[in-house]
């Protein structure tokens, strides 16, 4: 009889997912990292065409951002990745390649710092809402002990109760729901920031 523990089930599902990924993504023979391929006609396709700034400061192309995040979502964060840009041979330029790499690293480093700040603010707001909620609920419970038949007095207590529950919900919502997207983006951007960047040159995209 085979006994399934939480650890064995996780290992089983992880192995099945990795087997599936092997059919979609190539792996680097040296590092065993998953290779995320990107086909480009030229280096400028990596960045937003509406941003006139140089590569080093330019915003990343929206479709490329979404594509990379979608690919990263397929691959467990325990696995390493490599960003492989396949550029047309006619566009090869060593200086532009270096600028593109710096621009990509700068973009992810900037947003990592922004997300770290956002997560820190979210934690502080959640803690503040939790404290306010506790104080209001404690006050409402304390006052209810001395509650009388005075309707005005009861309305005030009920209002404090409602305020306490509202702030409690805000604390939970801020901590778990609103920060979830930021945490997910942080993990993806941290991965990309640490991923090696390669350029391969092709005569035509297959």
Residue 189 · residue 77 · CB < 8 Å: no
Collapsing DSSP to helix, strand or coil, 92 comes out as coil
Collapsing DSSP to helix, strand or coil, 149 comes out as coil
Rounded Cα–Cα distance for residues 3 and 82 (Å):
37
Rounded Cα–Cα distance for residues 40 and 59 (Å):
16
Residue 100 · residue 64 · CB < 8 Å: no
Rounded Cα–Cα distance for residues 148 and 3 (Å):
60
Model pLDDT, residue 188? 93
Q: List, for residues 19-46, the tens digit of each pLDDT value.
A: 778 888 999 999 999 999 999 999 988 8
Q: List, for residues 34-83, the tens digit of each pLDDT value.
A: 999 999 999 988 887 655 555 455 688 889 999 999 999 999 898 999 99
Residues 6+ apart with CB under 8 A from 171: 126, 127, 129, 130, 133
Residue 127 tokens read as 């803690």
Q: What is the CA 164 to chain-centroid distance, rounded? A: 31
pLDDT greater at residue 10 or residue 42: 42
Instruction: Supply the pTM of this predicted model.
Output: 0.70
């Amino acid at each position: 009889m085979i006994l399934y523990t939480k650890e064995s089930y996780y290992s089983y599902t992880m192995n099945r997912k990795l087997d599936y990924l092997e059919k979609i993504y190539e792996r680097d023979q040296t590092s065993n990292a998953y290779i995320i391929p990107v086909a480009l006609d030229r280096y400028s396709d990596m960045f937003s065409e509406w941003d006139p700034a140089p590569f080093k400061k330019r915003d990343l192309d929206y479709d490329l951002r979404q594509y990379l995040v979608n690919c990263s979502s397929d691959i467990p964060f325990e696995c390493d990745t490599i960003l492989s840009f396949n550029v047309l041979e006619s566009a090869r330029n060593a200086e532009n390649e270096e600028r593109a790499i710096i621009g990509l690293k700068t973009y992810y480093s900037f947003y990592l710092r922004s997300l770290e700040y956002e997560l820190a603010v979210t934690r502080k707001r959640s803690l503040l809402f939790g404290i306010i909620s506790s104080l209001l609920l404690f006050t409402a419970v304390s006052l209810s002990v001395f509650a009388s038949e005075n309707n005005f007095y009861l309305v005030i207590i009920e209002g404090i109760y409602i305020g306490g529950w509202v702030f409690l919900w805000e604390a939970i919502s801020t901590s778990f729901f609103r920060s979830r997207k930021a945490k997910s983006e942080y993990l993806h951007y941290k991965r990309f920031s640490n991923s090696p960047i390669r350029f391969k040159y092709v005569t035509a995209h297959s």
